Structure formats: C-alpha cells, structure tokens
Chain A
Amino acid sequence: MDITTATIEDLQVALESGEETAVSLTKEYLQAIDASEVNAFLSVYKDALEQAEVVDKRRSEGEEGPLLGVPLALKDNILVADKPVSAGSKILEDYTGTYSATVVEKLCSAGAVLLGRTNMDEFAMGSSTEHSAYGPTKNPHDPSRVPGGSSGGSAAAVAAGLAPAALGSDTGGSVRQPASFCGVVGLKPTYGAVSRSGLIAMGSSLDQIGPLTRSVADAEVLFDAIAGADPLDSTTYPAGTYPKADDAPQTIGVPRALLETDGVAPAVKENFANSLDSLKEAGYEIVDIELPGLAEALAMYYIIMPAEVSSNLARYDGVKYGLRTDDADLFTQYIHTRRDGFGPEVKRRLLLGTYVLSAGYYEAYYRTAVRARRVLSETLADAFDHVDAIATPTTPAPAFKLAELAADPLEMYLQDVFTVGANIGGNPAISVPSGRANLEGAALPLGLQLMAGKGQEATLFTLGKAFEAARDS
C-alpha cells in the first residue's frame, strides 16, 4: 500500500484485512521521515515501535476502532508525558512533558501510534514556520517555498506522506493556512469543542487544537476522537450546548467585500469562483452576504492575541522550567533568560501586548478590541440564521517563498485575513484543497474555507465531502 497517499480510512482497511500492522505502518512512516528533507519533524518518539506493538496486541485481542493502529504526528506544542516538547522555542529546548495533553490521552486510548513532534513557528506565532528556533520547514510541493504556519510541520508531514494525519493548533489560522499551502484538509473546531489541557498556551481566548488530514472524512474521524468536555479545561462545553441543525445544509454565503481586500491574488479569485461553481453544481445555493466588521477581525486579533501572549508567556522566567541564564540577581536572570530564549517575533508580540495592556492604553486598545469582537461575534451569529456556511478562499495567495515576507511583519500577519474571523467569533472552520495555481513552474495548492455556526462541525463535514466529490468529478 502507498503510505504517502493513504487516508486514515485506507489504513484502517489494510489493518483490518491484515495486509498491514501498526508495526509495519510505523516502520514505513519512520523510514519516510528519516529520508525526508522538508524538516517537518523536530524529533520522532523513541518508543513509536513499542507503541505500535502494544496496539497490534490490542487488535489481536479483539479491539476495533477507526484510529486503532494508525500512526499520527503531533505539533510541538502538545504535551506527551516523558517526551520532549519545545513549542519551537529555545526557551523550552530541553523541556520534557510532565503530563499528557487530554487530546493525547484520547488518541492513545483510541489506539493511535504517536510518531513524533512536528516543527512550528515559535510558540505558534507566525504563518510560515520560519519563526521556529530549529530552522524552517519546506513546502513539499516546492522546497523554495514555505509550508505556511504556524502548524507548518504538521501540514508538510501530511502532504509529504510522513504521516497520514497530524494535530495542529489554530489561534488565527495556524491549522487552515498551512493546510491550504500544502494541499491538505485542516479543521479549526468551535472554541471549547476540544480540550486545550496540555496545549502550550498562546492566545487563550482563541486557541483550538485541530486535525490536518488528507480527506474531510479523516478530519471528522480525528475530530470525533479528540472533542468533548474536559474538567481540565473549563472552556470546553458539554454536549448539547449548541443544538445540531435540523436540516441538511443548503445555503452558502459569500462575503464579497472581503474578497476585494488588497493583496488577494487573481489566481485565488479565479479558483474561488470555480469552487463556488462546483458547490452550485452539487446543488447548494450561493448568496452574497454582508458581514460588517469581518474585515476588521485581523485588527481585533492583533490587539487581543498579543495581550494574551504577553500574559501567557510571563511564565517563562527561568525559575520553574526551561532555559535559565546564570546571573547574580533575579531580575537580571528574568530579562537575560527571556532575551536568550525568545526569538524576534515572540519579543515583538510581547512588547505589543504589554503596550495594549498598559495603563493609559488599555481602554483605547484592549477594551475597544474586546467590544468590537462582541459586535462581530453577534454579526456572525445572525448571519448563520440565514446561511448554513460562509465560504471564502483560505489564504489571499498561494505559498510564498522562504524569506519573502520576512522584512515586514504586517505583511505576514495579512496571511490570516480570511481565517482569523473564525477565531475571533469562536466558530468552526475547515480548509479543503480546491485546486492549484501555476506559479513560476510550480503547481501550488489552494484551499476553500468554509465556516459554520458554533457547534456545527457536522455542517462543515457534509459540505466539505460534497465539495471534494464535486471538485474531483
């Protein structure tokens, strides 16, 4: 079986028939990782084969399940007990997980085999994986280009056939944008759908863990495995909080004004028009909608996120864990540890967050952004009274070249213009591969993003599968 293109569903068929075992699959993926040059993995877990042996034994004892024996990769900000985890940062270079994330516990009890940890922008801050302290990951479709970020290692691993699926985290688009750049499916669940216990925090009112997969069906399998209320994360919600839609999705809204944003590539607009045609042919009604405030979601994000970053990252002080510089007094140790441990993008956001929370500016920036966020959340909720989903491109352009956007941080931030609204509103959104743009001799993947009302992941799976079928017909 060709492990580089196999979906979780394909692997399960091979495992059930006895054609493959968890051990044989794990060996094949470990070999592929070893031979790969895209720098998708920071390290593989030493006990991967032992995990596989245990899982094969579980199957021989009669256990079954959609993830039983399936190897998976984890973004380097998800804790596994007794295994290294660094969040792509020097400050956690020698850190070992002291407990396992809830999502890890769930995957292990479902019988998944954890292959290793994937590269990412430091503390998930970035859209290219170039902000990793351990070197950039390359896009498997064109190694001169970035895989997107911050879950770039996870997206590249799935695209390059180094794992059938992976987990990432999405604060402003960090699962969906790399999924789009690498030609894989990426899901950002509803805020509170998946526990963040054991996820290294970035922006706590925005962060969600989500799957990167080769098909929408696989994204659904992984989402079902990791979702659910968790006493260890008080922002998770119990089943029934958001009633399921009664009817099958029918209507898809398009916020036309946002497509006219500066910097949306002509190839992206053309591809998006084709995607809408495919959805129409599949029987869905496409309507134009107005969403005042959506264009400002990114501005809200660049106040709220750095504010939360500056608070969350205060814990890296060289006292309790991670890097510590050798200094004669405590204050000097704080500032030198953080100087040596954090990269430039993290420092920029720490300073920005400190500014918007500081006396005199808190009202003008932070409180204003929180108020604007409430307005946009209500606008989105109202919109979902009339449409079942909102469609946009996932990114304004296909994958850019390494170092192309390094000079101006704001240019990099604008990568998230279509994705960030779902984080601000707390809505689920999925990116599904929608074709290629031919650019300088490379065929670069593009993605269609579908966003739904809170708790309506099922709508995204239905529409995503219908789109895959229409796209491939």
Chain B
Amino acid sequence: MKDDINIEKLAELARLDLADTDTAELSENIASILDYVASVEAVAASGEDTQAIGPVYNVLRADVDAHEPGAYREALLREAPAVDEEGFIIVPPIL
C-alpha cells in the first residue's frame, strides 16, 4: 500500500511547497514509518469502532455569546499580517 505514496499530491493537500526538499528521502522516511505503524492492525482486530476514550464527550455550552462581542478583536487583529483601515484582514486574490 505504501508503495504508492505520491509525495507531490500529499504536499498539495498539506499546503506545502517541497521544491527545496529532498522528496526521495522524505518518501523513504514516511514509508518506513508506515511500515512500523502497521502493527496496530493486530491489536485493533478485537476492538469496537469508536473514537471515545474517556467518560467525557460531546460537551456543549449554551448557545449564547461566550464573551462580549469584539472583546478580543483589537488584540487578534494586531497579530494579523495585513489589516486595512476598517479592520478587515487583507489577503491576495484567490484566483
């Protein structure tokens, strides 16, 4: 299964540019890790199909504002790389 690692496709999905990276070595690393992790299958065979590992799950808070609207706006926008005068984050064109 691991023979078909398409590193370019994975990089695109992970939003990474690997142009300066040794992709052959990276593929080899990933293949050897995937080899190693295959041992989970034997343990899984007897298990049920669930993601829960503890007694706490699906905790929902009341559907109201968690804090005063705008309380953190200034502090958060200070960290944005580019913001216009009206407080919108500037991004380059999508297309």
Contact = CB atoms under 8 A, between A and B. Distances in A.
Interface of A: 81, 95-96, 98-99, 191-192, 205, 231, 234-237, 241, 292-293, 296, 299-300, 302-303, 310, 314, 317-324, 327-331, 333-336, 338-339, 342, 344, 347-348, 350-355, 358, 361, 364-365, 367-377, 409-410, 413, 425-426, 454
Interface residues of B, number: 58
B10 A367 contact: no
22 contacts: A95-B79, A96-B79, A99-B75, A231-B61, A236-B56, A293-B43, A299-B36, A300-B37, A302-B37, A319-B81, A339-B20, A347-B26, A364-B1, A365-B34, A368-B44, A369-B37, A369-B40, A371-B47, A372-B44, A374-B50, A410-B32, A454-B54
Contacts of B76: 98, 320-321
A330 to B, nearest CB: 5
Nearest to B58: A234
Given A347-B21, A364-B1, A358 B10 contact: yes
Contacts, number: 180
B22 to A, nearest CB: 10
Contacts of A292: 43
Nearest to B75: A98
A388 B77 CA distance: 50
Contacts of B81: 318-319, 321-324
A303 B43 CA distance: 14
Interface of B is mostly: loop
B13 A358 contact: yes
Nearest to A368: B44
A324 B33 contact: no
State the 10 A-B residue pairs at the shortest beta-carbon distance, nearest first: A324-B81, A234-B59, A321-B79, A371-B47, A372-B43, A372-B44, A371-B44, A335-B17, A339-B17, A375-B47
B24 interface: no
A318 B21 CA distance: 20
Q: Which has the most chain B C-beta neighbours within 10 Å: A96, A205, A321, A328?
A: A321
Nearest to A370: B51
B64 interface: no
Given A318-B81, A364-B1, A426 B41 contact: no
A318 to B, nearest CB: 7
Contacts of B7: 351
Given A351-B11, A352-B33, 11 more contacts: A96-B78, A191-B53, A237-B55, A299-B39, A300-B40, A324-B82, A344-B21, A351-B7, A368-B41, A375-B43, A426-B54
B40 A296 contact: yes
A371 B49 contact: yes
Contact of A375 (B19, B46, B79): B46
A81 B72 CA distance: 11
A318 B16 CA distance: 12
B50 to A, nearest CB: 6
B15 A335 contact: yes
Given A292-B43, A347-B16, A241 B55 contact: yes
Contacts of A205: 53
A96 B79 CA distance: 7
Contact of B17 (A231, A336, A354, A454): A336
A409 B29 contact: yes
Contacts of B48: 371, 374
A337 B24 CA distance: 22
